[in-house]
């Protein structure tokens, strides 16, 4: 059993993206999609990976990436409801912070991403505990 990443954070994401001139984003999206697919596999849905996200975002001028985050936020929220995990974001809340927050110099968008990463960490932590308990 693979342990899912539980230490994603906004500051780490921003710093690594800056240091690597944006190439960290590719690794980040790939690992994020893989972890969400693993943790939420019971829902029967599948989160698109890096290649599909890049191609569809390119074709839709970035709109698909917003849809991608919205859909994954919904999956995290559903996981939280199913397993009694405190997930602080859902699709609507993410869109509100991301889109409306962009009007305030992007600060709201960063807060939305912070909530998203915090929720992802909570889901991955719960999954790791459940899999450890289940396999022992």
CA distance 125 to 131: 10
**Secondary element (H or E) of residue 97:** none
Share of the chain above pLDDT 90, in %: 86
Q: What predicted TM-score, i.e. pTM, was given to this entire model?
A: 0.92
Tokens of 65: 């990436």
Run of H or E including 67? helix 63-83
pLDDT given for residue 133 in this prediction: 79
Contact 6, 128 (CB under 8 A): yes
Tell me which residue has tokens 């960490």: 121
Cα–Cα distance measured from residue 39 to residue 46, given in angstroms and rounded to the nearest whole number: 11
- Structure tokens of 20? 């690597």
Please answer whether residues 135 and 128 qualify as being in contact, where contact means their C-beta atoms are separated by less than 8 angstroms: no
In the predicted structure, residue 60 carries a pLDDT above the cut 60: yes
pLDDT at 136 over 60: no
Distance of CA 125 to the CA centre of its chain: 14
What is the token pair recorded at 24? 């960290």
Q: Quick: pLDDT tens for 21-49.
A: 999 999 999 999 999 999 999 999 999 99
Condensed to tens digits (0 to 9), the pLDDT of residues 4-22 reads 999 999 999 999 999 999 9
Q: What is the mean pLDDT of residues 77-86?
A: 96
Query: With contact defined as beta carbons under 8 Å apart, do 85 and 123 qualify?
Result: yes
Yes or no: say if 24 and 16 are a contact pair by the CB < 8 Å rule: yes
The residue extents of the domains of the chain are: 10-135
Confidence of residue 99 (pLDDT cuts 50, 70, 90): confident
């Amino acid at each position: 059993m693979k342990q899912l990443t539980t230490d994603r954070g906004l500051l780490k994401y921003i710093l690594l993206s800056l240091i690597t001139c944006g190439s960290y984003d590719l690794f980040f999206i790939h690992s994020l999609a893989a972890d969400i697919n693993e943790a939420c596999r019971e829902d029967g849905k599948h989160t698109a990976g890096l290649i599909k996200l890049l191609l569809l975002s390119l074709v839709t001028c970035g709109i698909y990436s917003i849809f991608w985050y919205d859909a994954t936020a919904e999956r995290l929220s559903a996981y939280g409801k199913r397993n009694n995990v405190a997930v602080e974001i859902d699709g609507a809340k993410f869109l509100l912070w991301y889109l409306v927050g962009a009007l305030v110099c992007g600060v709201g968008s960063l807060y939305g991403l912070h909530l998203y990463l915090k929720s992802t960490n909570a889901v991955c932590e719960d999954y790791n505990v459940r899999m450890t308990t289940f396999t022992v």
